[in-house]
Amino acid sequence: PGSRGLLHSEDEVALRCIHKLVAASSFSKPKVLTAASTLKFIPEELAVFCRDFRLLHFCFPENGLAPQAFRVANAIAQAREAAAWLGDAADGWASPGEAPPEEEEEDKDGDDGSSTTLLFENLRDWEEELQRLGAAGWRVSAVNERFDMAPSLPQYLWVPSGLLDHDLKRIFAHFQERRVPRLCWHHPAGGDLLRAASFHPASEPGSEDVRWVPGDLGWGAERKRCSVVLQGGGWKRLGGGCKGNPPHHFVPPEPSDRDLNCLLASLVQLLGDPHARSLPGFQSLVQREWVAAGHPFPHRLGLLCQDSPREEAPVFLLFLDCTWQLLWQFPADFGFTEAFLLALHDSSFSPYFSTFRFSCQRQRGHSSLPRLPSQTYRPMGGWQDPRGHRGDPRPCSFPPVWAWGRRYTRQQREQFRNPAGPPGPAGSLSPGTPTDPCPWGGPRLVLTLAKGSLCPQPLPWWSRPPLRPPLRGSPPGSQGTQGGLLGTRQPPPGLLLPCTAGPCVRLWHRCYLRGLPQEQRGRLAPSLAGLAEELQLLQERLRAW
């Protein structure tokens, strides 16, 4: 009991969640069913391989149901194909035929996490978060408010306060998909984490526009100590950053800035920012670094069937796995549990959430607002606008995945919270430090993560800013970030340094083996949460005595 809500039900599967459909009979070989290749025999067994690692196995008894079995099998194959097509072409419009029959319960008792989760769809969220980070020298720019600067970027961007929108606009063209460098996270000790796409091939680094980017950006005015280390690689995770190092800037560019940058940016924050490890903080993080930042979920999750397989890549699922690795290594530092990650994993194959249905904020907005016919620009991904609205005039809005209350009972949602996690809601990190005067202010070292390693200053325009040599005071021994990590006996508070050694990287059983019945039972096993509950009950009773 208890696992029911996680999967919609044990025996249900969303059409898009079907990975493979196989029919078999005793007279012929098992056959993979698609819409194109239909069944030529009457199946006796039907196996549905799900993307969430379940295997639904149906047997048709030989008592006159044969034609139905045939029809059902073919219908599923067709419907699956149809559902997938729709997802893409309709650009997020709900199809009249696809409306899911299940999930009608309107269990609106408290929005739980979603109320405190910043969706980063309005200006206030961005302002609020920037304030929490205490990133002085940065501001929210609304230059992309109409998505005309960069269609795949969110409406609001964090840019240096010294940079005027007017000047900012000239930078866009120099980056692929017009994804300019912008702030992701501000370390309390002063370092900043930025992300950007790589340069547009047509961009001339030396050109006027770019040259004065840095000068005016004034990146360096408030330079403090910080460094961020990243170790990428395989299914392993990243090392973290720490202070005590010369000032670093860090930009992880990848060609598109829409996949691995999301992964790295959010992992770094998980390691460094206690707030990101709380339940609402984590949701906000995903919202900002993945959803708003334009991670192409439908493509990467393989929810569109005509996509070339190359488009499919479980980047987000990799992120969930990494998060789980951190979670089991640091059980006392997270406000959420494995059950929460599993629920999120499950939900990523469900088509009913705006979160995973769209590739960027712009697209997401269109799905809920009546579209103006006079759209002038096209989505950058190259996919065409559909043939306008059809039929359904009702603007259909999907809930974000964070509306857990709609799908999970209160009891189940209780299991999302880690009672052993850090006490209280994680506030801003060390609030005293944001305006900490820099001991050796001046040079800012800008590092870029490229091809798996951090390189200093590969961006030509970084050579322009006024740089002064570092003061003598900088600790010579701990120059490299590695030295800094080694030097500290204990990681600074709030920073997680996961073990990346082979024996410490585990298989996420409950996720990948959840098709097995015993794993399903254990998923919401009464463990810590149960004990904590009992404790509370006892305390209450004692008080009432």
Partner 1 sequence: EIHIKEPIEKEVNPHLLPGELLLCEASTVYKYVQEDGSNRGTYGKLVCTNFKISFLDDDSASDDNEPQFKNKIVGENDITLQCVDQIYGVYDEKKKLLTGQLRKYPEKLIIYCKDLRVFNFCLRYTKEEEVKRIVSGIVHHSQTPKLLKRLFLFSYASAAPNNTDGRNQTVMFETLEDWRDELERTKGNVKYKAVTTNEGYRVSEKLPLYFVVPICISEESILKYEGRGIPIWCWSCHNGAALLKMSTFPKEQDDSTSQMQKAFLDGIYKTISKPPYELLKMDDLSSSLPSLQDIQTAYTRFKQLFLIDNSTDFWATDVKWFSLLESTNWLEIIRRVLKKAMEVAECLEIQHTNVLLIEESATDLCCVISSLVQVMMDSYSRTKSGFQSLIQKEWVIGGHSFLDRCNHLHKSEKEEAPVFLLLLNCVWQLVQQYPPAFEFTETYLTVLSDSLYVPIFSTFFFNSQHQRDTNKSGESLKTQSGPFRFLTVWDWSVQFEPKALAFLNNPLYAEKPKPDRSQRKTARFKHQRQLSLPLTQAKPSTKRGFFREETDHLIKNILGKRIGKFINSSDEPPNSLREFYDSWHSKPVDYHGLLLPRIDGPEIKVWAQRYLRWIPEAQLHGGGTIATAAKILDLMEEVQSLQVKMDEEHSQSVSGDAHSVPMLRNSARLSSLFPFALLQRQSVKPALPTSTWKDLEDEDDLVKRDDEFVDLSGDML
CB closer to partner 1, 116 vs 457: 457
Q: CA-to-CA distance for 526 and 529, rounded, in angstroms?
A: 6
Are 225 and 443 contacting, i.e. CB atoms less than 8 angstroms apart? no
Question: Sign of the C-alpha dihedral, residues 291, 499, 230, 191?
Answer: positive
| Residue 23 C-beta: closest distance to partner 1, Å | 9
427: nearest Cα among 29, 193, 128, 102? 128
| Residue 229 C-beta: closest distance to partner 1, Å | 8
| Residue 37 C-beta: closest distance to partner 1, Å | 17
| Residue 223 C-beta: closest distance to partner 1, Å | 12
CB closer to partner 1, 8 vs 509: 509
CB closer to partner 1, 11 vs 534: 534
> How many CB atoms lie under 10 A from the CB of residue 174?
21
| Residue 163 C-beta: closest distance to partner 1, Å | 18
| Residue 463 C-beta: closest distance to partner 1, Å | 4
Beta strands per DSSP E along 198-304: 248-251, 253-254
CB closer to partner 1, 108 vs 489: 489
CB closer to partner 1, 247 vs 405: 247
Are 137 and 435 contacting, i.e. CB atoms less than 8 angstroms apart? no
| Residue 203 C-beta: closest distance to partner 1, Å | 20
CB closer to partner 1, 337 vs 412: 337
> How many CB atoms lie under 10 A from the CB of residue 93?
21
CB closer to partner 1, 160 vs 443: 443
CB closer to partner 1, 85 vs 330: 330
Beta strands per DSSP E along 101-218: 138-141, 157-160, 182-186, 192-197
Q: How far apart are the first and last CA of the chain?
A: 33
| DSSP sequence for 29-73 | EEEE--SSS---S--SEEEEEETTS-EEEEE--TTT-HHHHHHHH
The burial of 249, by beta-carbon neighbours within 10 Å (0-12 exposed, 13-18 middle, 19 or more buried), is given as buried
Q: CA-to-CA distance for 18 and 49, rounded, in angstroms?
A: 6
227: nearest Cα among 477, 444, 488, 465? 444
| Residue 488 C-beta: closest distance to partner 1, Å | 7
